[in-house]
Amino acid sequence: MSLKIERDQRRFRQIVRGKVRENLKKYVSHGEMIGRKNKDLVSIPIPQLDVPRFRFGDNGNGGVGQGEGEEGTPVGKGGKERPGGPGEAGSDPGGGHLLEVDMTLEELADILGDALELPNIQPKGTASIEQDKAKYNSIRSTGPESLRHKKRTYLKALKRQISTGSYEPDEPRVTPIKGDQQYRSWTTISKPEVNAAVIYMMDVSGSMTDEQKQIVRTAAFWIDTWLAQQYGGIETRYIIHDAAAKAVDEHTFYHTRESGGTRISSAYKVCAQIIEEELPPADWNLYVFQFSDGDNWGEDNERAFNILREKIIPHVNLYCYGQVESPYGSGEYLGNLEGRFGDEYDTLVTAEMEDRDAIYEAIRTFLGTGR
């Protein structure tokens, strides 16, 4: 019975994965799963999975193609229509229910990688750390009392008493002695860990609306999901800017709106400082994602490009610039960026995100490099 249940569970998971992959572009574009995300799981709304069966009509009421009526007459159950309204409330259940299924972020990353044909990332250089970890996987007869294994201790004492004939079934009593004591033991293993960090930068000036921020948030969710699966976990930093920049937490990053002008170089300065002081490139695989509507103070472009060339691009696995279309932004920065750097760096990737539907292809563009 257990084997049949496990087989059915595997089959159900395969069906769910197929449904998620079939509707992946919709999930990516609409950001439906962000609010359902826990630490390791995300709840995914999928259409109700029903077992196929015949549906019978009401006896005596006829069916399609039977009874009176003219060509073009709507077919449905009888009943009088309420004058001036949509009719009385129905009593039958609807057929459009959604089922929420929990899926791990790792499973979601696998589906994303398969659908977008993303290559696995090759970590750069020596950015790996050997970390010693204790694994409790054996038992020994000596050790600290805090690690005493009570169940095994009493089991050994019971075996001893039975073998020596001192155990009395009518008055069961197990008394461990010193030789019965059992303790949990461990072995130290070296587990290689590859460190990865993502730095997000976003323009929060008055020209960036809530819709543009939601596009950024949705894109960041999928970027984090993929990179975390590739590296086994990531560190994340957030930078917001208008004419001035500062490092903030995730909530502030997505819920701040300023009214000032825009100087992108201020964000690059903070980014370069974080890399230098907190995330040395020798120890980290670094990813920088910048999102803006393309507005920047004209005189600031040169300063921004110099910082980008000297202090950011040479130290990162990938620098991605995503330009989110805004009704208020000029959109000129993307053209200026591509005009200045062209194909000089294969670690620099750009994408335009006109609306939510463009998120899917932008993610493919950003992560399809395999860096």
Strands 196-203 and 285-292: parallel
Q: Average pLDDT of 346-364?
A: 91
Encode pLDDT of 290-349 as tens digits.
Answer: 999 998 988 899 999 999 999 999 999 999 999 998 877 778 999 999 999 988 888 999
Residues 6+ apart with CB under 8 A from 261: 205, 242, 243, 297
Higher pLDDT, 199 or 169: 199
Task: Report whether pLDDT(126) > 50.
Answer: no
Encode pLDDT of 214-227 as tens digits.
Answer: 888 888 888 888 88
Q: Domains plus CATH for the chain? A: 4-49+98-116 (no CATH), 129-191 (no CATH), 194-367 (3.40.50.410)
Higher pLDDT, 84 or 325: 325
Q: What is the pLDDT of residue 42?
A: 65
Q: How confident is the model at residue 168 (pLDDT cuts 50, 70, 90)?
A: confident
Q: What is the pLDDT of residue 289?
A: 95
Mean pLDDT, all residues of the chain? 79
Q: What is the pLDDT of residue 128?
A: 47
Q: What is the pLDDT of residue 316?
A: 94
Strands 128-140 and 183-194: antiparallel
Task: Report whether pLDDT(127) > 50.
Answer: no
Q: What is the pLDDT of residue 136?
A: 79
Q: Average pLDDT of 353-370?
A: 88
Q: Which range, of 104-113, 159-168, 173-182, 311-320, averages the lowest pLDDT?
A: 104-113
Q: Which range, of 26-30, 97-101, 364-368, averages the lowest pLDDT?
A: 97-101
To the question of pTM greater than 0.95 for the whole model, the response is no
Largest Cα–Cα distance of the chain, in whole Å?
A: 96
Report how far residue 199's alpha carbon sits from residue 20's, in angstroms, rounded to the nearest whole number. Answer: 28
Q: What is the pLDDT of residue 291?
A: 94
Q: How confident is the model at residue 54 (pLDDT cuts 50, 70, 90)?
A: low
Q: What is the pLDDT of residue 367?
A: 87
Q: Average pLDDT of 231-237?
A: 84
SS (H, E, C) 117-170: CCCCCCCCCCCEEEEEEEEEEEEECCCCHHHECHHHHHHHHHHHHHHHCCCCCC
Phi and psi angles of residue 209, each rounded to the nearest 5 degrees, phi first = -90, 175
Encode pLDDT of 261-299 as tens digits.
Answer: 889 999 999 999 999 999 999 889 999 999 999 989 888
Comparing CA positions, the residue from 106, 95, 107 lying closest to residue 16 is 107
Q: What is the dihedral of CA 262, 268, 270, 276, to 10 degrees?
A: 180
Q: Which DSSP helix (H) or strand (E) runs through 212?
A: helix 210-231
CA angle 228, 231, 235 (to 5 degrees): 60
